[in-house]
Amino acid sequence: MLETILLIISVLMITVVLLQSNKASDAGQIITGGNETLFQNMKERGFELFISRLTLVLGVLFFVISLVLYLK
């Protein structure tokens, strides 16, 4: 039962991470100097905030269920 839940959470977490905005490509522009807004404090809003929080919740659930299965 827990193995199935862990599998579902894993697939959901992969999907949610892929939906997030690609900040790694923004970091690559440091070398070329093309992105002055990289270090500005930009707040996430709306869908981005929801995706970030969902990623955090799924990550915590993945960790807890993995720990429970390990100690079982």
Joined tokens for residue 44:
């996430």
Span 11-21, average pLDDT = 92
CA dihedral 47, 48, 54, 55 (to 10 degrees): 150
- Give the pLDDT of residue 15: 95
Q: Which tens digit of pLDDT belongs to each residue from 20-68?
A: 876 655 555 556 665 555 556 667 788 888 999 999 999 999 999 999 9
**Using an 8 Å Cβ cutoff, are 54 and 20 in contact?**
no
pTM value > 0.75: no
- Give the pLDDT of residue 44: 74
Say how far apart CA 72 and CA 63 lie, in whole Å: 14
